Homo-oligomer: A and B are copies of this chain.
């Protein structure tokens, strides 16, 4: 970050899953109060709140002042409130804007809350809301749902890298195995590659168990200009929208955002101890291994075969279980990734812990432009005190 240093100081969440008896206000409140408690502070110190949500307008009718309704319910008074949307990257975008607020000197302590309530008793309505994360005049009207879009991209990388379905199955089983130990996760059962392979095909080559689930949930962090107990430094926060390929060459959105974050941090992928990436379908990890620089082009098959992205490997990816196991309440995901990174960097990740983790990256992708994710957010966090 330019400007002042920015620290993640408090973490909170409401476990992801199916919560028919709870409103989005209740989910958001649990996460927000948890983050304040973890930071050892309360709402009175919070000067601004950045609220990430994608679909409450379409799913509940509450548009416009969602964050104000969440936080006034628990006593927020006077602080600035901003409602931030960027499809599945709403949470990461809210973290980025909150970090700018602290870096600029405008705010000393801010709250970021990402929340989504997707189970509204009407799956068709939820799917229609999800379709609004592409340009509805283009993508949605030709009937491309996100699993289909991801399937096309995954097929491309499978061909280019000469990997077969067993790689997709291994990644999925790896992430479900990691998620067993994650208290935020919707699915906490281990899964074998055979179970993955036996699940029904959704959009070839993507099978049911490879898809992150519709979910209710919330996550929150307190960002501060001051370090303190358990604080972790934001080394980089970068956002890029989709390039228009014929003008800008072939770097896809995730790579553009990662390039910017590495430049900002003065670090490269080799300096990372682990990463949380946006596996809305777990096979997307295949693309991200290349696009985020975890391995070179042509090396993906080897990277998977050597299980380098497992906990204990040279570059653990989604040690939390990722979206695939944690669930994907859309607006909450990007904030949840910052919670996961900070837990790792504090050494508090329990069964998900990457030993000695000091620097981690989070990649949060949102929407669809026709070529790429419409927008990607990459954060790099560092535990300054750890060696």
Q: List A residues at the B interface (Cβ < 8 Å).
A: 1-3, 25, 48, 54-55, 57-58, 60-66, 68-69, 72, 75-87, 90, 93, 96-97, 100-101, 103-106, 128-129, 132-137, 237-244, 247-248, 256, 366-367, 369, 374-375
Q: Contact between A63 and B58 (Cβ–Cβ < 8 Å)?
A: yes
Closest to A376 in B: B80
State the copy count for this chain. Answer: 2
Checking B79, B100, B133, B136 against A100 with a beta-carbon cut-off of 8 angstroms, the contacting residue is B100
20 A-B pairs with C-beta separation under 8 A = A1-B104, A3-B3, A60-B136, A62-B135, A64-B366, A65-B86, A65-B132, A65-B133, A65-B367, A66-B85, A68-B135, A68-B241, A68-B374, A72-B135, A72-B244, A81-B375, A82-B84, A83-B86, A84-B84, A103-B105
Complex alpha-carbon distance, A100 and B65, angstroms: 21
Closest to A53 in B: B85
Please give the distance in Å from A280's CB to the nearest CB on chain B: 14
Q: Contact between A3 and B104 (Cβ–Cβ < 8 Å)?
A: yes
Checking B78, B132, B239, B247 against A64 with a beta-carbon cut-off of 8 angstroms, the contacting residue is B132
CB-defined contacts of A85 to chain B, threshold 8 Å: 63-66, 83-85
Given contacts A100-B97, A137-B69, A242-B77, is CB(A106)–CB(B2) below 8 Å?
yes
CB-defined contacts of A57 to chain B, threshold 8 Å: 57-58, 63, 132
Q: Contact between A256 and B63 (Cβ–Cβ < 8 Å)?
A: no
Given contacts A83-B84, A247-B77, is CB(A105)–CB(B68) below 8 Å?
no
Q: Contact between A78 and B243 (Cβ–Cβ < 8 Å)?
A: yes
CB-defined contacts of A87 to chain B, threshold 8 Å: 64-65
Q: Contact between A134 and B84 (Cβ–Cβ < 8 Å)?
A: no
Complex alpha-carbon distance, A246 and B293, angstroms: 54
Please give the distance in Å from A346's CB to the nearest CB on chain B: 26
CB-defined contacts of A69 to chain B, threshold 8 Å: 135, 137
Q: Contact between A65 and B366 (Cβ–Cβ < 8 Å)?
A: yes
Q: Contact between B97 and A82 (Cβ–Cβ < 8 Å)?
A: yes
Known pairs A64-B86, A65-B134, A81-B375; list 6 more (Cβ under 8 Å).
A3-B106, A64-B87, A65-B374, A72-B135, A81-B241, A100-B104
Please give the distance in Å from A122's CB to the nearest CB on chain B: 15
CB-defined contacts of A63 to chain B, threshold 8 Å: 54-55, 57-58, 85, 129, 132-133
Please give the distance in Å from A143's CB to the nearest CB on chain B: 15
Q: Contact between A54 and B64 (Cβ–Cβ < 8 Å)?
A: yes
Complex alpha-carbon distance, A242 and B68, angstroms: 9
Q: Contact between A72 and B103 (Cβ–Cβ < 8 Å)?
A: no
CB-defined contacts of A240 to chain B, threshold 8 Å: 78-80
CB-defined contacts of A243 to chain B, threshold 8 Å: 77-78
CB-defined contacts of A136 to chain B, threshold 8 Å: 60-62
Please give the distance in Å from A116's CB to the nearest CB on chain B: 11
Complex alpha-carbon distance, A72 and B80, angstroms: 30
CB-defined contacts of A62 to chain B, threshold 8 Å: 132, 135-137
Please give the distance in Å from A349's CB to the nearest CB on chain B: 29
Checking B48, B77, B134 against A248 with a beta-carbon cut-off of 8 angstroms, the contacting residue is B77
Complex alpha-carbon distance, A97 and B78, angstroms: 17
Complex alpha-carbon distance, A363 and B217, angstroms: 35
CB-defined contacts of A105 to chain B, threshold 8 Å: 2-3, 103-104
CB-defined contacts of A96 to chain B, threshold 8 Å: 80
Q: Contact between B93 and A100 (Cβ–Cβ < 8 Å)?
A: no
Complex alpha-carbon distance, A25 and B136, angstroms: 12
Closest to A138 in B: B69
Given contacts A84-B84, A86-B82, A239-B48, is CB(A375)–CB(B103) below 8 Å?
no
